[in-house]
């Protein structure tokens, strides 16, 4: 790609401008340089180096075995392969649970590897850590609802926020993270009505995955929406390879459908 303004890497200022204009934000998981280049060309604005690589790259049953060293490796690869998309990287299990100072040290390693934003799983309990990081120059993306690193505590991969009590807890989680300085919040496996309310009540973008069309943007695991990863897919996944002539076409279709609001449709929503 050229070095024109169109190819300069997106910043938080750019993402905030898109959000404030009402334009939907487009995010996908990405794990290597080749896919990063394809996603860049398709107009994907946010590349998430997700610890989902434990499932789709390593063949693990959960994200828990993924290490910080592995996340740094994949972050460097995605950074090298892309030119325009913003780079968001997951802190893996065990890298953010020992206190704010230890989390900062681990987050700094991912920032040095090319991340622009660090994603942390957890709600109110991560607010103090979020504030600690943001006050020291590390942008934070929160992640609430179904948090895969807590899968055993949650009793499996289940929709969150279905009861009045759990819905109120998620509202408090979102407010706490936004007040602590999170620049965006991923909402995973949350009823659409609740996700819409959360999005209205906080002043930062929400990125939905199984959270309906009322969020500020959408994210999917790329190996799911491209039908690469075998096995049964979650309800919120659409196979964008169906009818596409190439990976590039499928990625571009995803970006278009998120921007237009066509995805997610009712069949992808709880």
Query: Which residues form the catalytic set?
Result: 188
Which residue, 215, 226, 216, 201, is CA-closest to 269?
215
**Residue position matching structure tokens 């290597």:** 32
Size (the chain), residues: 270
CA distances from 170 to 76, 97, 177, 198, 200 (A): 33, 19, 11, 8, 14
Residues 6+ positions from 214 with CB-CB distance below 8 Å: 192, 193, 195, 196, 199, 208
Distance between CA atoms of residues 61 and 70, nearest Å: 17
Any residues with CB less than 8 A from the CB of 163 and at least 6 apart, and which? none
Measured distance CA(116)–CA(79) in Å, rounded: 10
Alpha carbons within 13 angstroms on the beta-carbon side of residue 82 total 33
């Amino acid at each position: 790609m050229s070095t024109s303004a169109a190819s300069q890497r997106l910043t938080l200022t750019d993402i905030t401008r898109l959000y404030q204009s009402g334009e939907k934000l487009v995010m996908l998981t990405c794990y290597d340089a080749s896919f990063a280049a394809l996603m860049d060309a398709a107009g994907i604005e946010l590349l998430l180096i997700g610890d989902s690589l434990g499932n789709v790259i390593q063949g693990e049953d959960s994200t828990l075995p993924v290490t910080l060293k592995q996340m740094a490796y994949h972050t460097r690869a995605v950074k090298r392969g892309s030119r325009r998309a913003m780079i968001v990287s997951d802190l893996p299990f065990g890298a953010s649970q020992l206190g704010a100072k230890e989390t900062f040290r681990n987050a700094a390693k991912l920032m040095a590897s090319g991340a622009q934003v660090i994603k942390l799983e957890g709600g109110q309990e991560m607010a103090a850590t979020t504030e600690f990081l943001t006050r020291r120059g590390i942008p934070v993306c929160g992640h609430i609802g179904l948090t895969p690193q807590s899968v055993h505590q949650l009793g499996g991969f289940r929709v969150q926020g279905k009861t009045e009590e759990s819905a109120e807890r998620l509202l408090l989680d979102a407010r706490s993270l936004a007040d602590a300085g999170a620049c965006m919040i991923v909402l995973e496996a949350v009823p659409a009505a609740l996700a819409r309310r959360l999005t209205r009540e906080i002043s930062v973008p929400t990125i939905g995955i199984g959270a309906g069309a009322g969020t500020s943007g959408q994210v999917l695991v790329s190996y799911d929406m491209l039908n690469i990863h075998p096995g049964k897919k979650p309800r919120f996944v659409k196979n964008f390879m169906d009818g596409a002539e190439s990976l590039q076409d499928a990625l571009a279709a995803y970006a278009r459908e998120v921007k237009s609001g066509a995805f997610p449709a009712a069949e992808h929503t709880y």
